[in-house]
Amino acid sequence: MSREITPRPLTAEAFAPFGDLLDTSRGPDFLINEGLCGRHHDRARLEFGGGAPGLSLFDAVPRSLPYRFDLVERHPRGSQAFVPMCLCSFLVIVAPDAGGTPGTPQAFLTAPGQAVNLHRATWHGVLTPLEAPGLFAVVDRVGAGENLEEYRYPEGWVVVP
């Protein structure tokens, strides 16, 4: 039997243990281009240990709630930022580390116009868009060396609406 998780709206405070929320709610740090563009500057704690920063696109199959999962993963050498390329909500599943394996997962639902950056070595679910197209720009570590740990929970979880 799966255990249920209800997603919370994504806020910077609630997400702080896991990563950075990128949105415009705090207002711009400064204006550029003769005042016509707000720059929300350097909003993510990026890490690319032993590798280089890369910019990739991820094109994922949209999911729906209830969403069942038992697999999470983490990248011990680097952060991973996900920028939706549509005004879409997506599901962000994360879990605290509990001595080398993930603890109880938490789920967040983004609002349109929000992106996230997962800090290095943060346990997280696979990319789960809830609308088509499931298209994201991803900033993460490129380079040699193992950078993926996976963990399968002995019992599954289900994210319910």
User: Toward its own copies, which CB reaches closer, 6 or 152?
Assistant: 152
Q: Does residue number 36 form part of the binding site for its own copies (CB under 8 A)?
A: yes
Which among 4-12, 84-92, 101-109, 153-161 is the span making contact with its own copies, rule CB under 8 A?
84-92
Residue 74 — φ and ψ, nearest 5°?
-150, 160
What's the min distance (Å) between Cβ of 44 and its own copies? 4
Q: Does residue number 85 form part of the binding site for its own copies (CB under 8 A)?
A: yes
Of 14, 16, 61, 160, the one binding its own copies (CB under 8 A) is 61
Q: From its phi and psi, is residue 156 left (phi > 0), alpha (psi between -120 and 50) or beta?
A: beta
What's the min distance (Å) between Cβ of 42 and its own copies? 4
Element (DSSP H or E) covering residue 70: strand 67-74
* Alpha-carbon gap, residue 59 to 137, rounded angstroms: 9
What's the min distance (Å) between Cβ of 22 and its own copies? 6
- Residue type present at position 107: A
Closest to 64 in 3D by CA, of 128, 115, 125 = 128
Element (DSSP H or E) covering residue 12: helix 12-15
* Alpha-carbon gap, residue 99 to 110, rounded angstroms: 28
6-9-13-14 Cα dihedral, nearest 10 degrees: 10
Q: Does residue number 155 form part of the binding site for its own copies (CB under 8 A)?
A: no
User: Toward its own copies, which CB reaches closer, 37 or 98?
Assistant: 37
Q: Does residue number 39 form part of the binding site for its own copies (CB under 8 A)?
A: yes
Residue 134 structure tokens: 């499931």
Of 111, 142, 149, 153, the one binding its own copies (CB under 8 A) is 142
Interface with its own copies (CB under 8 A)? 22-24, 28, 32-34, 36-44, 46, 48, 52-61, 81, 83-87, 113, 115, 117, 126-127, 133-135, 137-139, 142
